[in-house]
Amino acid sequence: MSEKIEEVREQMFDLVGHISYGDFSDLDAYWASLANALRSLDFKDGAEITNTKSVARILSEIAGMSPNDLGDLIGLAKDMEELSHGRSFDAIDEEDVEELESLAGDFEVAFETFLDTVLPEILADGN
């Protein structure tokens, strides 16, 4: 399981890293990789996570199994997905780029907290 969690973390860093380096060429692919990594986590009591769901939706379902409030993380993920969805490097506005970079920093911190503290609790509850 820890390997899977590290995979999730790696995909998160990949997404955030590309945004922080100004590479918006294929953000949808990075979101998809993160979603796939989250799906690979085996939640025994968790809701079904289908392939069509976004990261924000997957996090919502995970949060539904935990008393912890993941509102910020889910909100950040939703905002980032909305800003970046379907946009290439050339199609994204300058002000959106700045906002996306700022959100990415906050998302990284919130996601790290989620991975280090919340997720183990969820997995323990599930087991």
Partner 1 sequence: MDAPSHPPLHESLRAEFDLIQRKIDHIGEFENRVRGWSLTLQTAIIAALFSGKLPEMASGYVTVLLGLPAIGVIFLFHYLEQRQRILSRALGRRAIAIERALDQLIVERDWSARKRQTMMKLAMEDLDGTPRIAVTMALASRQGLFFTVKGMLPFRLNFFYYFEYALTLMALGALCFLRPAHTPEHSLTPAVPVSSVYQINVDQLHYLNDAGHQVQRVEKKTVNNSNRKSQ
Of these, 5, 17, 32, 65, which contacts partner 1 (CB under 8 A)? 17
Per CB under 8 A, does 25 bind partner 1? yes
Structure tokens at 83: 């800003």
Query: In whole angstroms, how close is the CB of 27 to partner 1 at the nearest point?
Result: 13
Query: What is the pattern of x (binds partner 1, CB under 8 A) and - over residues 80-119?
Result: ---------xxx----------------------------
CA atoms within 13 A on the CB side of 80: 29
Can you tell me the distance from the alpha carbon of 101 to that of 74, in angstroms, rounded to the nearest whole number?
Answer: 17
- Phi, psi for 17 (deg, rounded to 5): -60, -45
Query: In whole angstroms, how close is the CB of 90 to partner 1 at the nearest point?
Result: 5
Can you tell me the distance from the alpha carbon of 98 to that of 102, in angstroms, rounded to the nearest whole number?
Answer: 6
Window contacting partner 1 (CB under 8 A); options: 11-19, 42-50, 99-107, 117-125: 11-19
The distance from CA 43 to its chain's CA centroid, rounded to whole angstroms, is 17
**Contact positions toward partner 1, by CB under 8 A?**
9-10, 13-14, 17, 21-23, 25, 89-91
